[in-house]
Amino acid sequence: MVQARKSRTKSFGILTAGGDCPGLNAAIRGVCMAAAGRYGMKIIGIMNGFKGFLDESYRTLAPADYCGILTHGGTILGASREKPFDSVEKPGKIADDKVRIICEAYRKLELDCLVALGGNGTNTTASKLAREGLNVIGLPKTIDNDIVGTDLTFGFDSALSVGTDAIDRLCTTAQSHNRIIVIELMGNKAGWLALYAGVAGGGDIILIPEIPYDLKAIGRHLQRRAAAGKTFSVVVAAEGAMSVEEAQMEKKERKKYRKENGPSTAYRIAREINEQTGLETRATVLGYMQRGGTPSASDRLLATALGTAAADLLARGEYGRMVSVTGSGIGSVDLSVPEGKKRTVPADNQMLDTALAVETCLGVDF
């Protein structure tokens, strides 16, 4: 029997929160196998995100729980969008002080640390819990790839593959019927997924939240394509894509406008294009298809590497950190780095220039 290495952490809790995404189970497996096998730690699985603390839904995890889950989609721990700090920041909304309950449960379970796998909201909650005195380590997961402090998140590559495949399929339909098809991908504040899938799938127009689109510029691009004998086009739009006019609206006004002109971004843009150009236009919303299913090989590798790196942080007692991808290696940043922020596509991103170089319209005249 191999003797366990020394570890400052003897027992820790682990949870997954926010939306599901491919690679969560791979990350859970990476953390648990390294923590238990290499360091001899005890693992407590917290069910359904932070809600598990409130419901007292947790149990000790054994190898049988986390071995063999590398290729599985979803999460064996369940997830929820419970935001415990709402009870503190919005007094009167909820009677119970959820943060207090979580802290008490953490101490009752005699945890040395909590490992939280999630996106922006989860890592923000993790950072706030760290300020409450808990030892917390975060892992960045999201198909949106928009977490500040890491160059890449697991889940993104799998969603990119699904989005690219969908664009490929829609191209043949658009060509067969001489139509314009608008496909909506996830990305409310950041356009990484739409941009990368759009370039990979050969989208003719790519619309992302960072670049408010000009409908007249889109119309001119489509008319130029039609004049050149290109009788079909595929428009790839992030769910948060907005027009120049919308970008000038106040948040409440924009929300009202979208509600009245729904049911979603793709349908709104399809209607606008049809009205502007008279060209037959259809819309498709890929939706939760992007978040489900088996993780790609790349996401399995990344999730496993981040998970084992988290186990090493636990062993060294380096708490209050989020494991991250920095350049070509795995490192970590302080949990305060991603708190309350979104990593958006910068104006000088190489993929934007790549798109323009292959005559893709980004919704405005460059």
DSSP state of 240: T
The token pair at 298 is: 């790349």
Q: 197 near 167, Cβ under 8 Å?
A: yes
Q: Model's pTM, two decimal places?
A: 0.93
Q: How far apart are CA 202 and CA 234, in angstroms?
A: 8
Q: What's the one-letter identity of residue 340?
A: G
pLDDT at 321: 97
Nearest one of 260, 244, 228 to 359, comparing CA atoms: 228
Q: How far apart are CA 89 and CA 243, in angstroms?
A: 33
Q: 207 near 242, Cβ under 8 Å?
A: no
Region 40-47 average pLDDT? 97
Nearest one of 23, 46, 192 to 126, comparing CA atoms: 46
pLDDT in tens, 268-316: 999 999 998 898 999 999 999 998 899 999 999 999 999 999 999 999 9
pLDDT at 90: 62
Q: Which residues are catalytic?
A: 144
Q: 327 near 173, Cβ under 8 Å?
A: no
pLDDT at 260: 86
